[in-house]
Amino acid sequence: MPREPSARIRRVAYPLRFPRGGVRSSFRIPAAAKGLAVMFTIYLDDSGTSPSQKIAVATAMIIPALEIVRMETEWEALTKKEGFSSLHASECAANNPKSEFATWDRVKQERVFRRAREISRKYGTTAFSFSVNKKDYDEVLSDEWRNHFGIYHYTWAIRHVLKFVDQWNFEHNKMRPLEYVFDWMGGAKDKRRKEVERVMEQAEHEAIEHKHPGQYTNFAFRNRKDTPGLQCVDLLAWLHYQTVLHDFQGIPRHPLAEIAFQEYEKPPFFLHAVTVRRKNLQRWMAEEAKNPKAIELLRKWGGFNPTRTRG
């Protein structure tokens, strides 16, 4: 059994199984929320999905449903004060000449990123992130297993982030249904989106078998520009991407990421981030190949196709 990962940005052993009680949180469900059908919304984002990027990252941030309006109100105030419409961390940090951040100086970048982190931690309960070296994934997993777990690296990372959220839900939300909001991934025929839909369909099937129906039916794809929660989690995903670039390739973290990294290394911890190493991935694959249940699921879902699409 791997050691419990701390809530800081840290690489831990793999396979990924949080022991019960392993994801600590001081959050308590307010009485006013207990009558809601969905008490928490999970915002999910990716980083490194471009073919030119060597690392894939999936990140999720959990926000209580009662806090979303207040969070969005503060976010709107930030956008008006600083004069931008939608925060995209990588574009902002790079002063992308085609973006609204082209002329921002470092002082403004630091100020906006700091305020974005403050809002995320003020209203968010916790966040999880998972990353994998694409080359390792491509070389270690056979085509058969990739067809099951995900042709796209982000899909596989999403599976693990959902495991983290599921463990948190067990510990703190008594397995009540959640709402999942993914960053927009194209239309209903987009292959990446269809893989994510497939993951959610499979997860719901497993939830039904464990007598927790409805766990994964409430999900949607939304435009980051119109969704402050997705802009918050985009910043976390970018930070994790910068950190694993440093780990795998020795590339220094962007100065803005370094500031955030040092902040997240201090309590109260907020971000649980996990990176899988090649040797751990090889060990996990060897175990899965001998696991009768895993083989059964592989055969069961091998030809599975999503039965519905989401807006």
Architecture of the domain spanning 33-301? 2-Layer Sandwich (3.30)
Q: What percent of the chain has pLDDT over 90?
A: 58
User: What are residue 14's phi and psi, to 5 degrees?
Assistant: -140, 145
pLDDT at position 298: 65
pLDDT tens profile 210-246: 888 888 999 999 999 999 999 999 999 999 999 999 8
Measured CA to CA, the distance from residue 260 to residue 55 in angstroms comes to 19
Contacts of 227 (CB under 8 A, 6+ apart): 43, 181
pLDDT at 58: 96
Residue type, 185: M
Query: Which of 197, 188, 170, 156 lies closest to 58 in space, CA to CA?
Result: 156
State the virtual CA torsion across 48, 50, 55, 60 in degrees, nearest 10.
30
pLDDT one-digit tens code per residue, 15-74: 333 333 333 444 444 444 444 467 899 999 998 888 889 999 999 999 999 999 999 999
Q: Which helix (H) or strand (E) holds 149?
A: helix 143-149
Q: What is the DSSP code (8-state) at residue 151?
A: S
Q: pLDDT digit string (tens) for 120-174?
A: 999 999 999 999 999 999 999 988 888 878 889 999 999 999 999 999 988 887 7
For residue 302, the model assigns a pLDDT of: 58
Distance CA 2, CA 234 (A): 28
For residues 273 and 244, give the distance between their C-alpha atoms in angstroms, rounded to a whole number. Answer: 10
Residue with token string 């989106």: 193
Q: Could you state, in order of their start, the residue ranges of all structural domains in the chain?
A: 33-301
**What is the model's pLDDT at position 150?**
86
Task: Find the radius of gyration of the CA atoms of the chain.
Answer: 19
Find out whether 264 and 279 touch, Cβ atoms under 8 Å. no
Cα separation, 85 vs 78, in Å, equals: 10
The gap from C-alpha 215 to its chain's centroid, in whole angstroms, comes to: 17
Task: Give the per-residue pLDDT at 5.
Answer: 32
103 in the Ramachandran plot: left (φ > 0), alpha (ψ -120 to 50) or beta?
A: alpha
**Amino acid letter for position 68:** I
Q: Is the pLDDT of residue 305 over 50?
A: no
Over residues 102-119, the pLDDT tens digits come to: 999 999 999 999 999 999
Q: What is the dihedral of CA 233, 166, 175, 230, to 10 degrees?
A: 10
Residue pair 70/228 in contact by the 8 Å Cβ criterion: no
Strand ranges inside 123-270, DSSP E: 126-133, 179-183, 219-222
User: How much is the pTM?
Assistant: 0.85
Strand segments (E) across 161-203: 179-183
Q: In this model, does residue 90 exceed pLDDT 90?
A: yes
pLDDT digits (tens, 9 = 90+) for 262-294: 998 888 889 999 999 999 999 988 888 888 776
